[in-house]
Structure 1
Amino acid sequence: MDKTNMNSKIECTVTQCANHSCEGNYCALERIRVGSHEQNPTMIQCTDCESFVLGDKNQCK
């Protein structure tokens, strides 16, 4: 994946994700999948980015 790609429509601050753009607080993916780990989500904490992949902490250096 090209880490210099920046999708300005998907803001993201999770720098530990392999899909995080090295160009700013954005996702490098064209699209993401959002899901929930709860049967009946009622709060923001109940939602998850299912496109998250643990990355290398030095991936942008």
Structure 2
Amino acid sequence: MEVNKSIKCSIENCKYNYPSEDYCTLSQIKIGTHEANPTVIECTDCESFELK
């Protein structure tokens, strides 16, 4: 897997995380929300997440 230096990631249990460097290995990610009207960072989600 090659790291994408444009996407930082510290979620070590994600299939696409490269833990020794805290980067993502995907070429792009999808960001979404679980709220109707997101107003704070906690309302956003990485919809590309997959459990290792």
Q: What is the RMSD computed on CA atoms of the aligned residues?
A: 0.9
In structure 2, distance between residues paired with 1:53 and 1:28: 12
In structure 1, distance between residues paired with 2:12 and 2:42: 18
In structure 1, distance between residues paired with 2:39 and 2:19: 32
Greater C-alpha Rg: 1
Which structure 1 residue ranges, 5 or more long, are not aligned?
A: 56-61
TM-score (normalised: structure 2): 0.94
Identity %: 44
Number of residue pairs aligned between Structure 1 and Structure 2: 52
TM-score (normalised: structure 1): 0.81
- How far residue 23 of structure 1 moved from its aligned partner, in angstroms, is 4.3
